Amino acid sequence: MENPGKRLQPAPDALRAALGQVIAEERQTWRRERQAIEAEARQTIAEMRAEFAEMRAKASVDIERREAEIEAMAVTVRELQRRLDDAGIEADTTAKTKPRVRVPAPAREARS
């Protein structure tokens, strides 16, 4: 009587070929999945770069606008200082709160 288990065992060459095919199919599946992941990563990186460039451009515009505002304020301060100087008024610029302005008392005329 033959061993029933022996009949069910595939030939080593057939088993090797079947395993080789399974491995090849799995490698192909992994390759496709990796390619899809890489494409998605490239797309995400491109989107992030574009978003960064947009944010950088907006920041540059904001900085330029703020610099222009500061320069306009500086011009105003210099003009006000010139007017105070022309009027003989001394401004206390060391005050931590609102600037205090000292107006010199008018010269009194001598009475006879």
pLDDT digits (tens, 9 = 90+) for 73-89: 999 999 999 998 888 88
pTM of the model: 0.53
Pair 102, 89: CB distance under 8 Å = yes
Pick the closest to residue 13 from 21, 1, 4, 5 (CA basis). Answer: 21
Report pLDDT digits (tens) over 11-44.
788 889 999 999 999 999 999 999 999 999 999 9
Q: How far apart are the first and last CA of the chain?
A: 156
Cα separation, 41 vs 23, in Å, equals 26
Pair 51, 63: CB distance under 8 Å = no
